[in-house]
Amino acid sequence: MSDRPSASYRGPSRRTVAKAAALGAAGVLAGARRASAAVITVTRLGPRTFDLGIPSAALGRTAPVRIILPTAYTARPDSVWPVLHLLHGAHDDYTSWTRETDIEAFTANRDLIVAMPDGGPTGIPTRWQTGPDYETFQLQEVPAALRAGYRASGVQAVAGVSTGGYGAMAHAARHPGTFAAAASYSGIPDTTVPTMPAIIQGIVAREILNPLSLWGDPTRDSATWQDFNPRARAEALRGTALYVSAGSGSLSGGLDTVIALARLVTGGVAAVLPGALESLVAPSTRSFVTVLGQLGIPATQHLYQGGGHQWSDWKGEFTASWPVLAGALGLPV
């Protein structure tokens, strides 16, 4: 497909040269030469939007990242830019933010780079116990490529939907100081609240993967589960600007909740209506914000009635979170 990374190259290709000429920035071509040593591929999708294919030692493959450059990128060849990382959810991919939102138009004339990295089929960007290391890919390999080729600064924020919301809070909590801000929309910031391990394992199983390959068994390997649980590391979020939101969904509890949970675990996200799914994952966010409050860690939170586990809700939540993200990135609202 046209929006997938192109074939690898080992020197500045015609596409690379055309890209540099179109952007009018010698620094981009120099960055592309540096990238060529690592065989990074570049596919141009629009005036500011590109797909990168980054060879990843952490994943053992070349993985995609979609980026949106600042409108002023060409006019300010000596500038460096803060980066907003946007993470996708389960059973989706790195194209979701440009497919489902107006992020390209929203960031026009805003001085930042937007990076949308691959998080795998489950959208759980973690260091799997037996499997890929999406944590290293997203926190080290992607930023390194952006610094080398696209004049990214060290100022970063991260936001995500669903399992990507887990990733945003996990990244910020497990690596304090890496991100100036983190936002979770209908995320899973407490992975061990009752029923949540079963839901997470159901997400993994839905992709025909061994649920134990994530963090092991929730009981026998409880220390590992807690190590990767944002709630258990909440103290490390002190000083990070936070935005956390979730709806209550459509379930009233009781038998309908049990049925919805069974459908999720056996049939995956597609088997559960958005309102029911939001009800199932909302306790994770409520538990997380409760702990933040107990620790006295400030967070902008929006726990609203109704809503669903869907982009029509998340688009509004992203807009509502923008003042938090922009302030941390040093940008005007």
Helix H segments across the chain?
14-23, 26-37, 96-100, 103-106, 134-136, 142-150, 163-174, 196-206, 212-215, 222-227, 255-267, 274-295, 311-329
pLDDT per residue as tens digits for the range 205-232: 999 999 999 999 999 999 999 999 999 9
Neighbours of 151 (CB within 10 A): 21
> What are the residue ranges in the chain where pLDDT is below 70?
1-38, 254-256, 258, 268-271
Terminal CA-to-CA distance of the chain, rounded, Å? 36
Q: Hey, what amino acid is at 141?
A: E
CA 135/CA 325 separation, integer angstroms: 21
pLDDT per residue as tens digits for the range 8-21: 323 333 343 334 33
CA 104/CA 121 separation, integer angstroms: 24
With b meaning 16 or more CB within 10 Å and e meaning fewer, what string describes 192-230?
bbebbbbbbbbbbebeebebeebbbebeeeeebbeebbb
3-state SS, 87-108, equals: ECCCCCCCCHHHHHCCHHHHCC
**pTM exceeds 0.75 for this model:** yes
